Amino acid sequence: MKSIVVFCGSSTGNDPAIISSAKQLGKLLADRHITLVYGGAKIGVMGAVAQSTLNAGGRVVGVIPDFLKVKEVYHPGLTELIITQNMHERKLKMHELTDGIITLPGGFGTLEELFEMITWAQLGLHQYPIGLLNTNGFYDDLLKMLKKMVTSGFLKQENYDMLLVDDTVSGLLAKMEKYKPMPLPKWIKKNQV
């Protein structure tokens, strides 16, 4: 993987382990020469992962819609800042710039980004590894809900298995590096991806 998009909160939350994990991820990305693509803010979990990557000499690309530049307090020291017109354009641009996806703790926006990317994978629109960093069990209840979707017949097990989960940064990156994507659905042609 040459670049990884990281979805995470613009707030810091109240668990110091989450910020610690974000900083650890940023440093590991820089150490492995993997470009961080993220939402462009200098605050919250977003700011922690970006600043850690920059502090370790890594490359960081922020993608932020114009209307959020002030609200999320964009990071002025990034390697590159891309300003989009809206949220949809932001996600599409992030998708274009990456070949892996990691979700750290966050709120509604973080979940929306994760679910859109995993839905695109389910539809065969990309074959990137999608990781969920489950720091201190933050996503335990979400994972139970997803398992319930499987047992209730709303989600196929193989689609559930596309979401790579670990509670450590190094463990998650190892799973992502070993990821073998599902074959493209037969109704998708190579030139449609």
Amino acid at 186: K
Q: Are the C-beta atoms of residues 120 and 96 closer than 8 Å to each other? A: no
> Can you give the residue ranges of every domain in the chain?
3-176
What is the pLDDT confidence band of residue 29, given thresholds at 50, 70 and 90?
A: very high
The CATH T-level fold of domain 3-176 is Rossmann fold (3.40.50)
Per-residue pLDDT, 74: 87
Distance between CA atoms of 107 and 109, rounded to whole angstroms? 6
Specify whether the CB–CB gap between 2 and 99 falls below 8 A.
Answer: yes
* Beta bridge pairs of residue 3: 35
pLDDT for the residue numbered 71: 64
Predicted pLDDT at 183 = 75
Give the per-residue pLDDT at 67. Answer: 85
Terminal-residue alpha carbon distance, the chain: 19
Matching residue, tokens 């991820």: 25
CB 52 within 8 A of CB 26: yes
The DSSP element (H or E) to which 166 belongs, if any, is strand 163-166
Q: Which two tokens stand for residue 174?
A: 């190892």
Of 25-34, 64-73, 132-141, least confident by mean pLDDT is 64-73
- 187 or 105, greater pLDDT: 105
What average pLDDT does this structure show over 181-185?
A: 74
What does the alpha-carbon distance between residue 14 and residue 138 come to, in Å, rounded to a whole number?
Answer: 12
pTM, full prediction: 0.92
pLDDT of 167: 97
At 187 the pLDDT is: 56
Share of the chain above pLDDT 90, in %: 86
Instruction: Write out pLDDT tens, residues 127-164.
Output: 999 999 999 999 999 999 999 999 999 999 999 999 99
C-alpha of 124 from chain center = 18
Place of tokens 């996503």: 139
Average pLDDT for residues 176-186, to the nearest whole number?
Answer: 82
Which pLDDT band, with edges at 50, 70 and 90, does 181 fall under?
confident
Taking CB atoms within 8 Å and a gap of at least 24, the contacts of 120-128 are 120/95, 121/162, 121/181, 122/159, 122/162, 123/185, 123/188, 124/184, 124/185, 124/188, 124/193, 125/193, 126/95, 126/193, 127/181, 127/182, 127/184, 127/193, 128/98, 128/99, 128/100, 128/101, 128/181
Candidates 163, 177, 188; CA nearest to 28 is 177
